[in-house]
Amino acid sequence: MFNNILPALVLGLSALLSAASVHAEDQKAEQFHIRGSIVAYSGSALKVKTREGETVDVTLADGWKLASVANAAVTDIKPGDFVGIASLPSEGGGDGALEVLIFPPAMKGAGEGSYGWDLKPDSSMTNATVADAVKGVDGRTVTVSYHGKEKKISIPDGTPVVTIAPATKDDLVPGAVVFIPAEKAASGALAHQVLVGKNGVVPPM
Whole-angstrom distance, CA of residue 105 vs CA of residue 81 = 7
**pTM attached to this predicted model:** 0.84
Tell me the CB-side half-sphere exposure of residue 71, using CA atoms within 13 A.
7
Backbone angles phi and psi of 174, in degrees to 5:
-55, 135
* pLDDT at position 15 over 50: no
State the pLDDT at residue 24. 35
pLDDT in tens, 148-204: 999 999 999 899 999 999 999 999 999 999 999 999 988 789 999 999 999 999 999
Nearest Cα to 136, choosing from 74, 79, 93? Answer: 74
pLDDT in tens, 80-133: 999 999 999 988 778 999 999 999 999 999 899 999 999 999 999 999 999 987
Whole-angstrom distance, CA of residue 142 vs CA of residue 152 = 6
| SS3 readout for the chain | CHHHHHHHHHHCHHHHHCHHHCCHHHCCCCEEEEEEEEEEEECCEEEEEECCCCEEEEEEEEEEEEEEEEECCHHHCCCCCEEEEEEEECCCCCEEEEEEEECCHHHCCCCCEEEECCCCCCCEEEEEEEEEEEEECCEEEEEEEECCEEEEEEECCCCCEEEEECCCHHHCCCCCEEEEEEEEECCEEEEEEEEECECCECCCC
For residues 158, 164, 169, 174, the Cα torsion angle rounded to the nearest 10 degrees is 10
Specify the amino acid at residue 196: V
Whole-angstrom distance, CA of residue 61 vs CA of residue 194 = 11
